[in-house]
Amino acid sequence: MVQIMASTVRPSISPFGTARFGGRISVCDSSSRFGSIRFGFSVGPQSQRFGLNRQEGNRKSAKTIVSMAQGSTTITQENALEWVKSDKRRMLHVVYRVGDMDRTIKFYTECLGMKLLRKRDIPEERYTNAFLGYGPEDSHFVIELTYNYGVDKYDIGTAFGHFGIAVDDVAKTVDLIKAKGGTVTREPGPVKGGKSIIAFIEDPDGYKFELIERGPTPEPLCQVMLRVGDLDRSIAFHEKAFGMELLRRRDNPEYKYTIAMMGYGPEDKNAVLELTYNYGVTEYDKGNAYAQIAIGTDDVYKTAEAVKLFGGKVTREPGPLPGISTKITACLDPDGWKTVFVDNVDFLKELE
């Protein structure tokens, strides 16, 4: 690599074309990991993945550095948005910690009608996972429970809301849960500001579940509700970086909150993310119990780049997990909620 030090103003362009000043202007040969060529600004792997080849990048760096330094990002953002929308994404599972694995499995199978899909113990790392749900992992959204050896209690905090489960008859389900010794925190009745019949229960660790009366559905485990401090910001991020669709938005001024349903398909057939904004509340305590949602993607590398471009923070750079070939990347949204993206092909291989 030959490096040319800039004498005064030193413009460079981020991989997606965002202008910045500072650092060095460098010329790289094509033997770098991604074969990028940079002269005056960087045309990195993102540019190649989202529609700019090396020759185009080189011509741009030589001829248009002034205009690019003014901050033109339209083309690269459009390319990223187009790819994100076309990516085959699906919510795979939600991960959280429990204090007694056997107790939780018993409650979910006997009271909520879930099936134990698989269980794995990792003694060298001192934790156990259990996967539960209403259908196979390759086609259903499921729960991944984590038990850490010797830890019997966690703080759920105030940011996590609840999980949603669609049932045929809320009242009958509540009666069953009561008979099994479960805790009902809201008796069956219409939702505030709406007509849907719901109830709320708590599992043995204090996680809340909303029971939603709904006809037959292919995805009974249908919602994860998280609280956010800026709903418009959160909606924009999930649309652009995660490729989700805003399915509906409902404001409830009487109760001083607004919700937005985000997902990859209709609510009655897919698991969705319910974002809740409480008027005037911008920060919450996340505790240490809830962990993350996992989402499938065709390319974790492109996904990480799009997350960075649209304001997220990548906390684990894309690549294979140690010891196995499954490629993942992890990120935080603007509210600090963690999401892990998992390569679709690798995920199916892992299930085998």
Confidence (pLDDT) at 46 = 47
Is 188:171 a contact under the CB 8 Å cutoff? yes
Q: Is position 210 annotated as part of the catalytic site?
A: yes
Q: What is the DSSP letter of 168?
A: S
pLDDT in tens, 303-344: 999 999 999 999 999 999 987 889 999 999 999 999 999 999
Could you say which DSSP state residue 321 is in? P
Q: Which one, of 337, 293, 288, lies nearest residue 312 by Cα? A: 337
Q: Is 181 left (phi over 0), alpha (psi -120 to 50) or beta?
A: left
Out of 162-166, 189-193, 278-282, 315-319, least confident range: 189-193
| Structure-model confidence comparison of residues 262 and 68, the more confident one | 262
Cβ contacts of 242 within 8 Å, gap of 6 or more: 84, 89, 262, 295, 339
- Looking at per-residue pLDDT, the higher value among 3 and 159 belongs to 159
Residues composing the chain? 352
Choice among 210, 213, 219, 267 that is catalytic: 210
Residues 61-120: pLDDT tens digits?
Answer: 444 433 333 333 444 888 999 999 999 999 999 999 999 999 999 999 999 999 999 999
Name 349's Cβ contacts closer than 8 Å, sequence gap at least 6: 325, 326
